[in-house]
Each structure stands twice: as C-alpha cells, then as structure tokens.
C-alpha cells in the first residue's frame, strides 16, 4: 500500500492545496493531511480551526484523512507507515525550500521520499497569506478556498470567533 503525507500549516487550506490533495489522492492509496506548526510563522487560525477546514475540504475524498501533529514531520510519517511526503511547488523558491527539507526528512527517516507536484498555472499565485487577506476584506471565499472550508470560516465569523 502506497501511503503519503501532505504536510503544511494550512492557515487556511487554499484551492492550490486542494489541487495537490486531489492529485495525491489519485497517486497514492492513502493520503494523510498533516496540519502542523511552521516554526517561522504565527498562525491566524487555531490548530482546531485549521483541522476543521481541512477535514471539511477532504470529506469527499475517501482515501484522505486530516490530522494535527506537533512533533517532527518524519516521526509522523513513520507512525503512519508512509513512504512518501507530498508537497506542491509554485516556483524556484518553493523548490529550493522543499529540496532542503526533503534531504533532512530522508535523513531523519531513511526511505521516506518527497514527491514534488508542480502547481497548476491557475494556482501559481495562491497562498494562505493571500486567502487571509480575502477573508479580512470579505471577498467571496469560494474563489480561493474549498467551499466546505469557506463555510467553516463564515460560521466562525457569525459566531464572532474569528
């Protein structure tokens, strides 16, 4: 069984992430979405909110599961029996960053390989930062996020929690 992990901050999940998730779900038997902390960023959404958005977005994909993890990514992959990490790359800067992390993760967990999927052209300019701006300025979120995740954000807005 080919098992892959797609890690990220997912703060929030975007249509660009979703494209990579759907492609990974075709390539692998099982895909775990791992919502983590990026040591260089302070997330806007809580871990539980990021997980709720990911879970809602991935609900139509039967072989995809979303979870939270606070440790090293390589340890999570080992616990799930994954042989692959999946990452989306939009440009050379992403590639350079991912290349370095792939080498580290493989040294932490021998046999754990990283598969880089190039972003589709329509998502080259997508980022969670951009989507957070759209949320802030009340733009139609379905253009930027999976619909189910956008519904989560609207619900939190109404509750006054966001």
Enumerate the active-site residues: 17, 41, 90, 128
14 counts as binding ligand PNS under rule CB under 6 A: no
Instruction: Among 7, 12, 16, 146, indicate the residue that binds ligand PNS (CB under 6 A).
Output: 7
Minimum distance of ligand PNS from residue 105's CB (angstroms) = 5
Smallest separation, CB 65 to ligand PNS (Å):
17
| Residue 89 in contact with ligand PNS, rule: CB under 6 A | no
> Is position 107 an interface residue for ligand PNS (rule: CB under 6 A)?
no
For position 36 contacting ligand PNS by CB under 6 A, the verdict is yes
Measure the CA–CA gap between 79 and 96, rounded to whole angstroms. 27
Is the Cβ–Cβ distance between 117 and 85 less than 8 Å?
Answer: no
Single out the segment in contact with ligand PNS by CB under 6 A; choices: 45-53, 54-62, 69-77, 144-152.
69-77
Is 9 a residue that touches ligand PNS (CB under 6 A)? Answer: yes
The least CB distance from residue 64 to ligand PNS, in Å, is 17
- Closer residue to ligand PNS (CB): 53 or 73: 73
Residues touching ligand PNS: how many (CB under 6 A)? Answer: 12
């Amino acid at each position: 069984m080919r098992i892959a992990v797609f890690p990220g901050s997912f703060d929030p999940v975007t249509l660009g992430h979703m494209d990579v998730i759907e492609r990974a779900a075709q390539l692998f038997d099982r895909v775990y979405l791992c919502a983590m902390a990026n040591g260089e960023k302070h997330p806007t959404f809580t871990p539980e909110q990021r997980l709720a958005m990911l879970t809602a977005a991935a609900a139509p994909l039967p072989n995809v599961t979303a979870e939270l993890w606070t440790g090293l990514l390589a340890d999570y992959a080992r616990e799930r029996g994954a042989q692959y990490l999946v990452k989306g790359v939009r440009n050379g800067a992403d590639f350079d960053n991912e290349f370095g992390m792939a080498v580290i993760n493989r040294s932490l967990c021998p046999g754990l390989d990283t598969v880089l999927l190039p972003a589709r052209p329509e998502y080259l300019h997508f980022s969670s930062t951009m989507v957070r701006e759209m949320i802030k300025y009340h733009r139609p979120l379905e253009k930027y996020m999976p619909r189910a995740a956008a519904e989560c954000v609207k619900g939190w807005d109404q509750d006054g929690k966001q």
